[in-house]
Structure 1
Amino acid sequence: MPMQKRPFPPDRIQPLLCCPRCLGTLQMPALGQQGTIHCLQCGPVGLVRSGQYLFESLEQTAGESDWLARAKNYAKQRLGRWYPLAIRLLAPVYSPPWAKRFLKTFDLSQQTVADLGSGMTSYRQPVLLVDGAAYPHLDLVCRLEHLPIRNNCLDGLISVAVLEHVPNPQEHVAQMYRVLKPGGRLLCYVPFLQGYHASPDDFQRWTISGLRELFGQFEMLQLRVGAGPTSALVWQLQEWLALTLSLGSRWLYRLLLPLTWLLSPLKYLDILLQHHPEAHRIASALVLEAKKPEHP
């Protein structure tokens, strides 16, 4: 596999890393070299390959029984970096560019921001891309509940549509708290009223109250609608139509569901409706910005 050019400077990655098991010091290959990553206490814990730092990766078997998850994985392989654009156009959910707005509040030449669970997303700016699946453009591949990142070293974190796919979100949020510097900020986007979507699996949803509880260690800066009520309605309507018109046939349902994507443009009504003061009651998704206390 050829070396892939990545926006995040390679010389800024190694100082951030530690052992995912004991958080101890690592011995790593020189910059530009490939080889095994050793922990002084635990032994071999990862490797560097084609500019990527690989630790324990996510098993992709959990959602393989779900046909839509398999279809998404195939689309990711075929479309590559065009996959996020295809999703924005075809999916029933409209969301403003929360991550891009968040990144504008940082000086990325001096500050370090990581996208945890970035998947096929990429940025022109130097953002550390982290995921459990080894997509070729990523900087760091690891389990999100065992981040190989030192304590108190990141200025910002992004987590977009990730927590619902994590079986133990409390552990993942604890890792976010650990790696952020005091005063560091995070942006987290999670579903509320959305259908099941395995990637590779799907475990939970959150209300505003649930998010306040989950991120209780943080100072809440903003908590609002991330995707509005129309997006929630369109998703449910698409699924309902495919179920109703398929007459109990699983194969006909699978053929009909893509046709219901013709309804997806209705989601843009949320450009107005998501600002309603009561929109959170039936929102498709919620988004929060929070800060690690200056004196935790």
Structure 2
Amino acid sequence: MALADPETTRRLLVCPRCRSGLTDTTGGLNCTVSTCAYRSPGAFPMAGRWPVLVDFERSVVDCGEAVRTADRTDTARPGPAGGADALPALLRRVFKPPNRIAAQNVDLLLRSLPGPAPTLLVVGGATVGNGVNAAYHDPRVQVIGFDIVGSPVTQFIADAHQIPLPSASVDAVLVQAVLEHVLDPHLVVAEIHRVLKGGGLVYAETPFLQQVHAGAHDFTRFTASGHRYLFRRFEELAAGPVAGPGTQLLWSVDHLVRGLTRSALAGRAVRGLMFWLRALDRLVPPEYATDDASALFFLGRRSDRELTAQEIVAYYRGAQVSA
């Protein structure tokens, strides 16, 4: 994998509160500014091998839980794959088909990156997302990943509302199926804009018509226009549905059965039997899919210009025509 080495990542890290430098101390890191609330030695603890760089006074992330979860991850022995990844290849494609849209867009993003060793930041990257494997296997790219939990493909634990990296420090950002799980997605996108270099790239995938899928940590959905306005300080390179109305219907059938039977297993079983609904996405024209998508993507370039309110209203690409 093309993960950035720990020393390279460590040199980039800053205090999430004041964005000043950090120093290593026994038990963790701390801010170098004497007036910062996180100046005490070990203010940012280590959780296994991951520094926990969270402004706990301004985050829903709990310090103790973050450390305990990461410690368990660090000491656990590798086990068999779980969920859809544990199924035979044919069944895996039924329950978790390859995300071809992500693969195409990540390929475009990688080909657009400048220089011999560009840096790609993965926000919410505890696992390698569906369709983005190429980003982790491009020998030219240095991948830096973080999440609120540690994992083999993350280098630190952080809250995306306060990314502990300097401004203009990365060439691209990947944020796949994350923005629905943060309290303030507009603040997170502002942080993404801040850490990107001039002309840096972002690739995002976010749900539109999907049921709650992370319990208490699922907050927000976006229409196509709303998603574009979320990234209003970016020039659009490409945008559209990741999955259309057929996939959205499959989600609804799954959760209808769950509600009727009080069984998630029953819902997943019916979802597997009705996998063919996903194929209907190909029959729906783009303008109708825009209004009924299960999820949406945005690929854009950092800009200093912001879309106006009039421009975002005129942006609408769906099938509903005003009278």
- Shorter-normalised TM range: 0.7 to 0.9
Matched, 1:36 2:28: yes
Matches within 5 A, 1:1-296: 7-28=3-24, 35-41=27-33, 42=36, 43=39, 44-48=42-46, 51-56=49-54, 58-59=61-62, 85=85, 89=93, 91=95, 95-96=99-100, 98=102, 100-101=106-107, 102-106=109-113, 110-121=117-128, 123-125=136-138, 126-198=142-214, 201-244=217-260, 246=261, 250=262, 253-263=263-273, 265-266=275-276, 268-269=278-279, 272-273=282-283, 276-293=286-303
Gaps of 5+ in 2: 66-76, 307-323
Gaps of 5+ in 1: 63-76
Displacement after TM superposition at 1:274 (Å): 6.7
RMSD: 3.4
**Equivalent AA in structure 2 for residue 124 of structure 1:** H
Distance 1:37 1:84, change over 3 A: farther
1:69 paired residue number: none
**Equivalent AA in structure 2 for residue 24 of structure 1:** S
Displacement after TM superposition at 1:265 (Å): 3.1
Distance 1:279 1:50, change over 3 A: same
Larger CA deviation: 83-92 vs 233-242: 83-92
Contact 2:147 2:154 in 1 (8 A): yes
Q: State how far apart, in whole Å, the 1-side matches of 2:156 and 2:194 are.
A: 17
Q: State how far apart, in whole Å, the 2-side matches of 1:138 and 1:116 are.
A: 10
1:72 paired residue number: none
1:68 paired residue number: none
Q: State how far apart, in whole Å, the 2-side matches of 1:114 and 1:81 are.
A: 25
Displacement after TM superposition at 1:40 (Å): 1.1
SS state of the match for residue 291, structure 2? helix
Contact 2:236 2:300 in 1 (8 A): yes
Q: State how far apart, in whole Å, the 2-side matches of 1:218 and 1:170 are.
A: 13
**Equivalent AA in structure 2 for residue 54 of structure 1:** V
Aligned residues between the structures: 269
Distance 1:10 1:78, change over 3 A: closer
For residues 106-131 of structure 1, the C-alpha deviation after alignment (integer angstroms, 9 at most, x for no partner) is 36851100110012227334411111
Contact 1:90 1:264 in 2 (8 A): no
Q: State how far apart, in whole Å, the 2-side matches of 1:206 and 1:260 are.
A: 27
SS state of the match for residue 147, structure 1? coil
- The answer to which structure has the higher helix fraction is 2
| Alignment TM-score, normalising by the size of structure 2 | 0.71
